[in-house]
Structure 1
């Protein structure tokens, strides 16, 4: 009997499940996600699920982790300060693909060097400038990214830069050609920057999680879910953390299929931070051909075609003061629910809320608190950010007590973006406590927070909400509305239509079955599988809004953890053969270009190298019974009445089940 452990670290909860032979769920458990050290929550969830099942830790044959850490970090703009080394490009190329915006002031070194399309060197690598840059920044960044022009055709300069970075700084370095075999330098650079930014986070999570499992008595190797739903080893995830973006959502799609057997459906997974929507077609998740997109970032990472929206149970509630009636909107930033913070620090939060409620006039920061996150690298801070962080210290404070000027609001945003500080404010989770739909934390604190928020004045001068229950219902209704929009946008995109139509007045009128001189009927034509701990709370109303079947499986709250252990190890490696001149066929390898006199031996050489790489990666991930599939995309053109070879792309996929110790 094989015992499989699946763990998913979400924005609010960490889930654990035990499966027997991928057939039966033996037990499930939850623990609060511990943002300061995610492995603590992992350990608590694993201990709880072992206790619930009566299974001995030594009998666990495989452990697998899915995580929203990378996804949430990119959505919320978190991650370490990194440096980009940009070889062979121009300064203005930084504006392409939103690269400069993503760097957000992090240091950049633009060097001469790079290669031509055929893999020949365009210019010598400027090593003196690189070495000076490394000496300047080796102490104030957590990692480096390198992207060189046409590195996928010849990675020599990226490899040399990576060597020098390690020798001078000892810091991790992400080379773009190792993350994608596709052309498109700026987009590869963006992917490398994001990978470098995530390395510290994912490395710490995996290392600490492995320590927790060993302390519990689990010696099985740990796997990690990739963004396409396949599994990779923990070592591979530490080297390429960017591939774990959409890990949690991808695991949920795999779990949804396992739980429901659905062939065609939209899958919507609501967590604390995000709502993730994807399409199941013929029982398989649709893969995004353009690379994973998370928030504003379009990467070159192969992943499930997932629409990730900053909308969840812990989304921040914002006041909409325009118009006579006013209202609220949610997200995209996650905050700590006031009711949760009050449960953790009852002697601080509740008295502060009560004092704010007694005040005759509402304050700008009523119901909002702030605390520092311990153990995060704080290098490169400006004076204003450093002063504010020191003022926050180790305690929990009402936000109005630490912000002295309006200028410091910008400093606070930058600290939050760096993951150094957490803000607590009103959320849908708090609203559910007020409405009696949730009873996990401090409902009294949630009620006061709703009352404080409802005191705001609309454009007509009226109070936004008469009592806390009205305020709470307004928040839940808004979550229903925004979730419906996310699903409509996904359906429109799936049908090749403009997703902006989701907010069109005709579509919105049609949701209510508008009848008059014109009859309108809008809704979804496929069922929705609702996943997440709060799916049963929020999603029945969403199904009613969209006029579709809402499938809520029994284990919807732990679908991600289930998906983490029922996937396969799949390793894909791609390469290219070009024809720089007639009668010459060039194979582009990591070791450098190799030329052949005809196409067949060139293709055979590339296939052999890719097969070895894919098999080695699959074996390193712990796969067994490995199957290999090879696909060839050969482009030709007609010239003078004959067919001419232009370019070929080969992809080798090695897939197998992860090796499981059977007890």
Structure 2
């Protein structure tokens, strides 16, 4: 909001490993008492209503199995990009990629390396015999997986070492694709191109190469990342509208709408607000978003440091609530904080409730670190009509105080 001036938007933050999506309403992020959603699971701690997906610039690139025309699949696992591994380890990576390219046929493990993460050895306690043996073979310099593994069973062992945080796998990622196309240039483009060549040699269901060149496969990978980003943004929007986000996005009608599929029945889908793209790679991966989401995508100038900036401009936000009920006709009972008081008319009880919650949030805001909080009070009434007469049932009064943190001297 600070970077764009937008009060209503869908905010999508793409990093190396994940994409985080949340909704901004009236200048504030929507909150959820059950917490953020990570990998389909709720954290159950009140927080910003954010959904986290395993999609980023360093996502693992794989192919769909068992089909004639396999789709590109991304994530959810993160790999060390070959371009980054090549920059750090030079010919230890590029010479192995060149060796694999000289082979007459593509290998299932081409373009993959294993390297220790560098955690202390004590964290490797409790490994099984097979895990310990494999871990011993892996060092601080990336080792080609086709030299390391001798059976499919060892691949599962390697994955267990990765899940324990002991080993990284390096391989072809969207970051490598960006290096091949000259859209990213901070690591080693040679290793990235070799990895793209190896990936392009993979075979489809007819035994043909899946792409004609490193550039062609790299373009497909980046287009896929943008498309998946659009689907995750729409999934969040559908979920916020009370639908099952994942199944709604997967529906054939939504897919046809996102694709702008031509037909007698023309379909379209559009967000009611723009997207704010955050993250260092947002200018690249979100450039093609607007036609997919039916709205604009705003990428702020300093989007690569948005989270650091957010820590500076973020606000203190606290809330308090009170309830007014009518346990018997003509008696209005206010429950506010730890006190309960009775009043003989509705207006007085509501005024007292609003005064109480204002005082409570003002004190809480002061304790939370702001001296200049703005306080908003909202009252929700529950009433019924009996014989054309309004009958008060309950009122829910909520006060929210927000303000900049005080500056420590």
TM-score by length of 2: 0.79
**Counterpart among 504, 523, 543 of residue 270 in structure 2:** 523
In the other structure, the counterpart of 1:565 is 312
Asked if the contact 2:36/2:51 (under 8 Å) is kept, the reply is no
1:223-258 deviations in whole A, cap 9, x for unaligned? xxxxxxxxxxxxxxxxxxxxxxxxxxxxxxxxxx00
Asked if the contact 2:313/2:404 (under 8 Å) is kept, the reply is no
In the other structure, the counterpart of 2:407 is 660
**Counterpart among 48, 71, 75 of residue 327 in structure 1:** 71
In the TM superposition, what are the counterparts of 1:416-455 in structure 2 within 5 Å? 416-455=162-201
In the other structure, the counterpart of 1:362 is 106
In the other structure, the counterpart of 1:479 is 225
In the TM superposition, what are the counterparts of 1:393-542 in structure 2 within 5 Å? 393-499=139-245, 500-542=247-289
Asked whether 1:603 is paired with 2:338, we answer: yes
Query: Taking structure 1 as reference, are residues 339 and 462 closer, same or farther at Cα in structure 2, changes over 3 Å only?
Result: same
**Greater RCO structure (CA 8 Å; 6+ sep):** 1
Secondary structure of the residue that 1:381 maps to in structure 2? coil
CA shift at 1:563, angstroms?
A: 0.6
Secondary structure of the residue that 1:508 maps to in structure 2? helix
1:381-411 deviations in whole A, cap 9, x for unaligned? 3222222222213332112222233222222
In the other structure, the counterpart of 1:547 is 294
In the TM superposition, what are the counterparts of 1:89-108 in structure 2 within 5 Å? none
Asked whether 1:383 is paired with 2:129, we answer: yes
In the other structure, the counterpart of 1:293 is 37
Please provide the CA RMSD for this pair: 3.5
Query: Taking structure 1 as reference, are residues 617 and 417 closer, same or farther at Cα in structure 2, changes over 3 Å only?
Result: farther
CA shift at 1:628, angstroms?
A: 11
Asked if the contact 1:336/1:424 (under 8 Å) is kept, the reply is yes
In the other structure, the counterpart of 1:625 is 371
CA shift at 1:261, angstroms?
A: 1.1
**5+ residue gaps, structure 2:** 322-332, 341-355, 380-395
CA shift at 1:510, angstroms?
A: 2.1
Asked if the contact 2:316/2:365 (under 8 Å) is kept, the reply is no
Cα distance in 1, alignment partners of residues 38 and 275 from structure 2: 22
Query: Taking structure 1 as reference, are residues 404 and 514 closer, same or farther at Cα in structure 2, changes over 3 Å only?
Result: closer
Asked if the contact 2:92/2:141 (under 8 Å) is kept, the reply is no
Secondary structure of the residue that 1:324 maps to in structure 2? coil
Cα distance in 1, alignment partners of residues 162 and 108 from structure 2: 19
In the TM superposition, what are the counterparts of 1:40-119 in structure 2 within 5 Å? none
Query: Taking structure 1 as reference, are residues 654 and 492 closer, same or farther at Cα in structure 2, changes over 3 Å only?
Result: closer
Asked if the contact 1:287/1:305 (under 8 Å) is kept, the reply is yes
1:504-559 deviations in whole A, cap 9, x for unaligned? 22222223434443222233332111111111112121212233211122122221
Asked if the contact 1:365/1:400 (under 8 Å) is kept, the reply is yes
In the other structure, the counterpart of 1:244 is none
Asked if the contact 2:83/2:191 (under 8 Å) is kept, the reply is yes
Query: Taking structure 1 as reference, are residues 293 and 628 closer, same or farther at Cα in structure 2, changes over 3 Å only?
Result: same
Cα distance in 2, alignment partners of residues 626 and 563 from structure 1: 19
Structure number with larger C-alpha Rg: 2
Secondary structure of the residue that 1:541 maps to in structure 2? coil
Cα distance in 1, alignment partners of residues 43 and 259 from structure 2: 38
In the other structure, the counterpart of 1:311 is 55
Cα distance in 2, alignment partners of residues 312 and 521 from structure 1: 27
Cα distance in 2, alignment partners of residues 599 and 527 from structure 1: 42
In the other structure, the counterpart of 1:85 is none
Secondary structure of the residue that 1:554 maps to in structure 2? coil
1:593-621 deviations in whole A, cap 9, x for unaligned? xxxxx99799239xx9xx99x979975x7
501-510 vs 346-355, which moves further = 501-510
Asked if the contact 1:570/1:618 (under 8 Å) is kept, the reply is no
CA shift at 1:472, angstroms?
A: 0.5
Cα distance in 2, alignment partners of residues 630 and 535 from structure 1: 34
Query: Taking structure 1 as reference, are residues 651 and 413 closer, same or farther at Cα in structure 2, changes over 3 Å only?
Result: farther
Runs of 4+ displaced beyond 3 Å = 512-516, 569-574, 598-602, 614-619, 626-633, 649-659
Aligned residues: 368
Asked if the contact 2:365/2:371 (under 8 Å) is kept, the reply is no
Secondary structure of the residue that 1:433 maps to in structure 2? helix
Cα distance in 2, alignment partners of residues 602 and 548 from structure 1: 44
**5+ residue gaps, structure 1:** 1-256, 575-597, 634-648
In the other structure, the counterpart of 1:27 is none
In the other structure, the counterpart of 2:118 is 374
CA shift at 1:468, angstroms?
A: 0.5
In the other structure, the counterpart of 1:281 is 25
Asked if the contact 1:309/1:486 (under 8 Å) is kept, the reply is yes
Cα distance in 1, alignment partners of residues 40 and 399 from structure 2: 30
